[in-house]
Amino acid sequence: MDKNLIYIIAILAIAGLVIASFGYVTFEGQISDLRSSAATMEGSLSGVEGSMDDLENSVTSLQTSVGGVDSSMDDLESSVNSMELQLTNITTIEGKLDAIEGVITSYQTAITGLEDALTDYESAVSDLEQQVSDQQQQILDQQQQISDQQDQMDEYQETILNQTQQIEEYKQVTLVDRMGNVVTFNEPPERIVSLAPSNTEILFAIGAGDNVVGVTDYCNYPYDFAAWIAAGNMTSIGSYWGPSVEPIVALEPDLVLATSASFDAANSLKNLGYAVLFIEGKNIDDVLQDILMVGRATYKNSEASAIVIDMRARLDAVATQLMAATTTPKVYHEVWGDPLMSVGPGTFIDELITLAGGTNIFNDATTSWPTISSEAVIQKDPDVMFFPDMYMGVGNFYETIEAVASRSGWDTINAVQDNALYEINADIISRNGPRLVDALELLAQMVHPEIFGQP
């Protein structure tokens, strides 16, 4: 209620009280006059006996008037009491109004605080919107990179298709390997001997496995060739390292796939007139080219091309996901335990570590397969370490991961403290064949589990 209205009501009440008081005084005057008249009449009564009855009537009338005046006095007193009560209520209302004004002031203060908080919130929302905008731009940039990579893949596919068409047009195939050997085929080879597990994997991956008649004792993928050999369905030529020529010649091969491990035997076979190709890629691109070459040599161009395209797509997928990486962990790979050996520059394992988003701690070595010391590993303090499981078909030279962690002084290495020690299938990490991409995807999990998940 407006204070001014309350003040007006109070003034009117006081005015009413004044008027009532004035009426009261007036009635008092009338009573005094009446009483004076009564005295006069009583004096006249003693002198005028005959007017007694009239005088008595007048007295009675006057008494009646006095009773009415008394009643009016009571009404006035009641009015005065009512006005005093109203004045008391007005005082109470004023107190309540003051309390309400205090509450309103508190609300206004709270509203001011909320407005300040809203301003801060709007500022935070603006910052968040800017961050979202920046992230959206990054996504657009990544999408553009993916688009560029897809265009490059399309170019590769077109090149492969063109090569396939050329091969179909010309049945005669002439190939030159990295050693400079020139081999010419007029028809698909029907008896193939593989002198390395990696080459065996390539042959079976492209669908030329039915023509393979000889493998090494270490060839174990994609089948258990030991069982085949025992059943007479496959022939072993012995070790892949320095194999004898005689078992190979006995198989009358029209294609031999060799590596540096069988260099002497391969040269002897070449001198005897056999078709020999050295297949031993030093890096990922070399491996992809080797797969295509074996595909051409066996007239499995489409199959080899499909494998290469799939491998490139998986390589690109890893690279794309690694755009989100914010660190480049240091990585140690142990090749052998006595003496300690690791991998250096110029090897496909060193390249795999890099492609997985890490840094090989011995990529500054002067050899591809450096002999190292335990102290050097401790000093370089790798963040991730991985070890080959069942290398060369023998038990783990490092025994167990727990044994590695307990090596003297290795408890200070980050990888040991973070429990980032892993085992990896020795075959997929040591064979330069189609499963190198499998190895890459596993390494990416070890090096960047925050992106690819735990291995």
| pLDDT on residue 66 | 45
| pLDDT on residue 109 | 82
208: which residues sit within 8 A by CB, 6+ positions away?
A: 192, 294, 298, 300
CA atoms within 13 Å, Cβ hemisphere of 191: 10
Q: Which of 2-6, 214-218, 243-247, 396-400 is least confident?
A: 2-6
Most trustworthy range by pLDDT among 110-114, 136-140, 231-235? 231-235
Interval 199-257: pLDDT, tens: 999 999 999 999 999 999 999 999 989 999 999 899 999 998 999 999 999 999 999 99
pLDDT at 20 over 60: no
Q: Does domain 325-452 have CATH number 3.30.1510.10?
A: no
| pLDDT on residue 24 | 45
Element (H, E) at 183: strand 182-185
CA 311 to chain centre: 26
Q: Which of 284, 263, 270 is nearest to 435 (CA)?
A: 284
Other CB atoms closer than 10 Å to residue 303's CB: what's the count?
16
Residue 7: C-alpha distances to residues 12, 102, 116 (Å) = 9, 20, 39
pLDDT at 288 over 50: yes
Q: Which of 411, 387, 382, 297 is nearest to 334 (CA)?
A: 387
Please report, as a single letter, which amino acid is at residue 435. R
Q: Which of 180, 210, 200, 186 is nearest to 276 (CA)?
A: 180
CA–CA dist 51, 29 (Å, integer): 27
CA angle 427, 449, 371 (to 5 degrees): 45
**Span 425-443, mean pLDDT?**
95
> Residues of 133-150 as b/e, b for ≥16 C-beta within 10 angstroms?
eeeeeeeeeeeeeeeebe
| pLDDT on residue 62 | 46
Could you say which DSSP state residue 335 is in?
Answer: S
What's the CATH superfamily of 171-314?
Nitrogenase molybdenum iron protein domain (3.40.50.1980)
Assign 332 to helix, strand or coil.
Answer: strand
CA–CA dist 241, 225 (Å, integer): 18
Residue 199: C-alpha distances to residues 141, 178, 217, 223, 258 (Å) = 40, 15, 13, 14, 8
Residue 253: C-alpha distances to residues 25, 101, 226, 290 (Å) = 149, 107, 20, 20
Q: To which residue do tokens 């009117």 refer?
A: 12
Q: With contact defined as beta carbons under 8 Å apart, do 279 and 293 qualify?
A: yes
How much of the chain exceeds pLDDT 90, in percent? 56
Please report, as a single letter, which amino acid is at residue 154. D
| pLDDT on residue 7 | 59
Interval 60-83: pLDDT, tens: 654 555 455 456 556 656 655 665
Other CB atoms closer than 10 Å to residue 322's CB: what's the count?
17
Other CB atoms closer than 10 Å to residue 410's CB: what's the count?
17
**Span 342-364, mean pLDDT?**
96
Pairing mode, if any, of strands 182-185 and 173-176? antiparallel
Rounded to the nearest integer, the mean pLDDT of the chain is 83
CA–CA dist 147, 140 (Å, integer): 10
147: which residues sit within 8 A by CB, 6+ positions away?
A: none
pLDDT at 435 over 70: yes
Residue 48 confidence class, pLDDT cut points 50, 70, 90? very low
Tokens standing for residue 37: 């008249």
Residue 54 or residue 102, greater confidence: 102
**Span 386-405, mean pLDDT?**
82
Q: Which of 317-331, 366-380, 384-398, 415-429 is least confident?
A: 384-398
Q: To which residue do tokens 């988003």 refer?
A: 357
pLDDT at 131 over 60: yes
| pLDDT on residue 105 | 79
CA–CA dist 441, 436 (Å, integer): 9
How much of the chain exceeds pLDDT 70, in percent? 75
47: which residues sit within 8 A by CB, 6+ positions away?
A: none
pLDDT at 189 over 90: yes
Question: pTM for the complete prediction?
Answer: 0.63
Please report, as a single letter, which amino acid is at residue 14. I
**Span 388-392, mean pLDDT?**
73
Q: Which of 134-148, 169-183, 416-430 is least confident?
A: 134-148
**Span 286-290, mean pLDDT?**
96
Could you say which DSSP state residue 371 is in?
Answer: B
pLDDT at 343 over 90: yes
